[in-house]
């Protein structure tokens, strides 16, 4: 099925460990996003990529890095995980040409726990 695929779905890390969250979309969308969701705070933008080859910081970028590997893939890396990064992470994509809908497609989320 077309859409946004995130891996893994669940992950437990120890403080200080590193890991990369993977995201891929097969809709030929230009823009991709990483959000984190914490209780009582909604979803907050970590990083985004408006097009292949570009990345920009969002609202809460500290402690994260991203790579827009190609048009399909946008990965999020935690270099040294901290308990404060325990959250649910969502990847999303959007087509810049879709000026009528400006609809986002979200992945199913990655639940990350840092102990």
Partner 1 sequence: AQKVTQAQTEISVVEKEDVTLDCVYETRDTTYYLFWYKQPPSGELVFLIRRNSFDEQNEISGRYSWNFQKSTSSFNFTITASQVVDSAVYFCALSEARSDYKLSFGAGTTVTVRA
How many residues line the site for partner 1 (CB under 8 A)?
24
The answer to whether 54 contacts partner 1 (rule: CB under 8 A) is no
Shortest distance (Å) from residue 73 CB to partner 1:
20
| Residue 59 near residue 45 (C-beta atoms within 8 A) | yes
- 45: CB partners within 8 A, 6+ apart: 33, 34, 35, 58, 59, 60
Nearer to partner 1, 1 or 14 (CB): 1
* Residue matched to tokens 């810049």: 96
> Which residue among 92, 93, 112, 114 contacts partner 1 (CB under 8 A)?
92
Shortest distance (Å) from residue 35 CB to partner 1:
8
Sign for the pseudo-dihedral over CA of 86, 57, 25, 3:
positive
The answer to whether 41 contacts partner 1 (rule: CB under 8 A) is yes
The answer to whether 7 contacts partner 1 (rule: CB under 8 A) is no
Which of 43, 45, 102, 101 minimizes the C-alpha distance to 74?
Answer: 45
Cα-flanking dihedrals φ and ψ of residue 51, to 5°? -160, 165
In the complex, the residues that contact partner 1 under the rule CB under 8 A are 31, 33, 35, 40-45, 48, 50, 58, 88, 90, 92, 94, 101-104, 106, 108-109, 111
């Amino acid at each position: 099925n077309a859409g946004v695929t995130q891996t893994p779905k669940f992950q437990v890390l120890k403080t200080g460990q590193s890991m990369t969250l993977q995201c891929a979309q097969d809709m030929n969308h230009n823009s991709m996003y990483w959000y984190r969701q914490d209780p009582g705070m909604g979803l907050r933008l970590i990083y985004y990529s408006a097009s292949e080859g570009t990345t920009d910081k969002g609202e809460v970028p500290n402690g994260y890095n991203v790579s827009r590997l190609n048009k399909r893939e946008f990965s999020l890396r935690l270099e040294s995980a901290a308990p404060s990064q325990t959250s649910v992470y969502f990847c999303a994509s959007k087509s810049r040409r879709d000026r009528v809908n400006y609809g986002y497609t979200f992945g199913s989320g990655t639940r990350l726990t840092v102990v």
